[in-house]
A = this chain, B = another copy of it.
Amino acid sequence: MDLNTASQAPEPPAAGRPEEYGLLVLERTLGEQGCPEQRDHLRALRGWLFEELSSLGDDFAGLRRADDFNPVNRQAAEFILGLPGKRLRPLCALVAARLGPAWRNPLVHDVAVAAEMVHNATLLHDDVIDLGTERRGQPCARVVYGNAASILGGDLLLVRAMQRIHRHGRPELVSGLLEVVERMVDAEAEQLELRGRLNLDRARYLRVIEGKTATLFRWSLAAGAAAADASPETVAAMQTVGACMGMSFQLVDDVLDLRGDAATLGKGLFADLEEGKTTWPLLVAAERSRTFAADLQRWMDSQRAGAVPSGEILAALEDLGAIDATMRLAEEHIQRALDALQVVPQGAARTVLEVILQAVIQRRS
Contact = CB atoms under 8 A, between A and B. Distances in A.
Contact of A166 (B149, B167, B178): B178
A222 interface: no
Interface string A137-176: 0000000000111011011101110110011010100110
A125 interface: yes
Interface in A167-213: 167, 169, 171, 174-175, 178, 181-182, 185-190, 192-193, 204, 207
A263 interface: no
A54 interface: no
B178 A151 contact: no
Interface centre among A162, A193, A204, by most B CB within 10 Å? A162
A219 to B, nearest CB: 14
Number of copies: 2
A171 B185 CA distance: 24
B125 A155 contact: yes
Given A72-B192, A193-B72, A163 B178 contact: yes
B73 A186 contact: yes
Contact of A185 (B125, B147, B156): B156
Main secondary structure, interface of A, reads helix
Contact of A70 (B149, B156, B175, B189): B189
A190 B72 CA distance: 7
B152 A181 contact: no
A129 interface: yes
B152 A178 contact: no
Nearest to A128: B151
B155 A129 contact: no
Nearest to A194: B70
B181 A171 contact: no
A237 B286 CA distance: 65
Interface of A: 68-74, 125, 128-129, 147-149, 151-152, 154-156, 158-160, 162-163, 166-167, 169, 171, 174-175, 178, 181-182, 185-190, 192-193, 204, 207
Given A152-B189, A156-B186, 4 more contacts: A128-B151, A129-B147, A151-B151, A163-B175
